Structure 1
Amino acid sequence: MTSLLPSQKSVIVRGSGPGLLLAHGAGSDIEDSYGPVLENLAARRTVIGPDYPGSGNNPLQDLPLTLDRLADHIVESAVQSGVHSFAISGFSLGTTVAVRAAVRHPERVTALVLSAGFARPNARLKLVVDTWRALGAPDGDSRVLASYLSLVVGGARWLDARSHEEVEEQLALFSAGMPPGTDAQLALFDGIDVRADLARIAVPVLVVSPLGDLLTTPVHSRELADGIPGARLATLDCGHAIAAERPAEWAALITEFLDSVGG
């Protein structure tokens, strides 16, 4: 494997029991994508959460990012952490990383949970990502970017229930800056297409579809579930940011599914 992993400082390892490897979203990191559910997941499993290059404590490297390298990167992170077989939970971009990891390393992967994900960006998702990248350019307005991300990441019902002060707090968080690897991670959307990988997956799979997701809309989850033999499809009444809106329900779906299939 071609390693993108500089050190174990960029990997979260918590809990004990069967392995559960996490793959986070683009422009994010493990704490951002999974933070509110880490404790619940680690109560039953050894959770390994590596940050991609350019996210969290993992600096962006000279090697170009590819889906294969990210898949190898997360698998190598688990192996270096002493966990040699594991289920993978992928969120958003991490669903494609998880699918590719299962195809490239079938001897290690025991199950998949694919949440708020996609097999390939359709025209709408490409438009969302292209706008994100344009607003995130060095000369862009950070508050405008923060407002845009708040509107596409948060579910409408969840945002409607927020006070002005809560929205301002979220805008301040987003305005503080995206991870340095954000644009390189978003650039992957130009060529991602794992549809041919789906039929090759031979482990139990749960696809989690947030019904109010405006970023990766439910049509993408249905495409994943339809393409993977025997995949189960579950829904959550929330937007894209599942960990913020429905952490307990999401953790329960992941845990109960993995318990049921021995993953």
Structure 2
Amino acid sequence: MPYAAVNDTQLFYRIDGAANATAPWLVLSNSLGSDVSMWTPQLVEFSKHFRVLRYDTRGHGHSEAPQGPYTIEQLTGDVIGLMDLLGIERAHFAGVSMGGLTGVGLGARFGHRIDRLVLCNTAAKIGSPEVWVPRAAKARSEGMLALADAVLPRWYTADFISRHPLVMSQVRDVFVHTDKDGYASNCEAINAADLRGEAGSIQAPTLVISGTHDLAATPAQGRELAESVPGARYVELDAAHISNVELAKEWNKLVLEFLQGA
């Protein structure tokens, strides 16, 4: 499996569409409690047009989980370090939830490396200490299985959950096998990150996508983010928190049109 030593951490990554050596790069960043597999619904279409780089955020999937707490500086630095190691000068970037928060940081602090930015089901400030502190503590003390029944039903609408039991089984499998300390350390990174004062400095063309039924990063927060980024476009989908999976066809069309637009 491909690993890269970045910021003293082994990061797992995958590249698809690599046969087209002149295609632009697209970096995809996972949500909290998931891994590279969350982007499976995008791969067939996206790899026709881009060299797609997926990676497991530190503390997730096959990437290492160094001692935390983590910071938004580390999460953005991991992306830039991975791009440097792979010789990627500039790339489009799309992230969901925690991955979207990472995207806000990249757009604000490393704008010269980002071509277009997709910030999905996220905000410049996600949640509060009342959410993240007890969740991190529970993950460390009781493990990921203790969180699954409270967290996963918020990711998708009840209708989607009832119609797609195999998808939910796969999602649950990834979640409960996420390193508990890595998960907790990422909760602490999200809790500490407040990028509302930096979002206005993003210059890359930006698309903000929210889910009408998202309880974790609400449409109001998505609109606030879009309004703070100069020229950003805001779109709301009839989905919950993981809209790239729940409404994959609509999401793919929307994002492809944005990334390939004039």
Instruction: Report 1:83-162 matches (<5 A).
Output: 83-123=88-128, 126-130=129-133, 132-139=135-142, 142=145, 144-159=146-161, 161-162=162-163
What is the CA distance between 1:35 and its match in structure 2? Answer: 2.3
Counterpart position of 1:26: 32
Separation (CA, whole Å) in 1 of partners of 2:49 and 2:249: 14
Whether the 8 Å contact between 1:128 and 1:215 is mirrored in structure 2 is: no
TM-score when normalising by structure 2: 0.85
CA separation of 1:166 and 1:90: change in aligned 2, threshold 3 A: closer
Evaluate the alpha carbon distance shift between residue 221 and residue 5 of structure 1 in structure 2; reply closer, same or farther with a 3 A threshold: farther
Matched, 1:228 2:229: yes
After TM superposition, the structure 1 stretch with the greater mean CA deviation from structure 2, 230-239 or 46-55, is 46-55
Counterpart code for 1:102: G
Taking the TM superposition and a 5 Å limit, the aligned residue runs for 1:38-53 are 38-53=43-58
- State whether structure 2 residue 83 is matched by structure 1 residue 81: no
The TM-score, its normalising length taken from structure 1, stands at 0.85
Q: Distance in 2 between matches of 1:79 and 1:226?
A: 31
Question: CA offsets, 1:45-81, max 9 Å, x none?
Answer: 0111122221122111247521112111112212322
Separation (CA, whole Å) in 2 of partners of 1:215 and 1:255: 25
Q: 8 Å contact 2:33–2:174 — kept in the other structure?
A: no
Higher mean C-alpha displacement, 69-78 vs 169-178: 169-178
Contact 1:114 1:206 in 2 (8 A): yes
Describe the shift of the 1:249–1:128 C-alpha distance in structure 2 as closer, same or farther (beyond 3 A): farther
**How far does the alpha carbon of each residue in 1:169-221 deviate from its partner, in whole angstroms, 9 at most, with x for none?**
46863674333411100111321111111110111000011111122111111
Report deviation, 1:139: 2.8
Question: Is the alpha carbon distance of 1:19 and 1:168 closer, same or farther for their aligned partners in structure 2, counting shifts above 3 Å?
Answer: closer
Asked whether the equivalents of residues 121 and 210 of structure 2 are also in contact (C-alpha less than 8 Å), the reply is yes
Is residue 3–residue 69 contact of structure 1 (8 Å, CA) maintained in 2? no
| Matched-pair identity in % | 26
Per-residue deviation, residues 141-170 of structure 1 (Å, max 9, x unmatched) = 82x5222122211223323x438x669846
SS in 2 for 1:157: helix
CA drift at 1:5: 5.8
Which amino acid is 1:4 matched to? N
Partner of 1:178: 178
User: Displacement of 1:37 after TM fit?
Assistant: 1.4
Provide closer, same or farther for how the CA distance between residues 135 and 168 of structure 1 changes in structure 2, counting only shifts above 3 A.
farther
Q: Assess if the C-alpha contact under 8 Å between 2:65 and 2:179 holds in 1.
A: no
Question: Structure 2 CA distance, aligned partners of 1:88 and 1:41?
Answer: 12
Q: Report the RMSD for the aligned CA atoms in angstroms.
A: 2.6
Ranges in structure 1 where 5+ consecutive residues have no aligned partner: none
The answer to whether the 8 A contact 1:212-1:237 is kept is: yes
Give the counterpart letter for 2:213 in structure 1: G
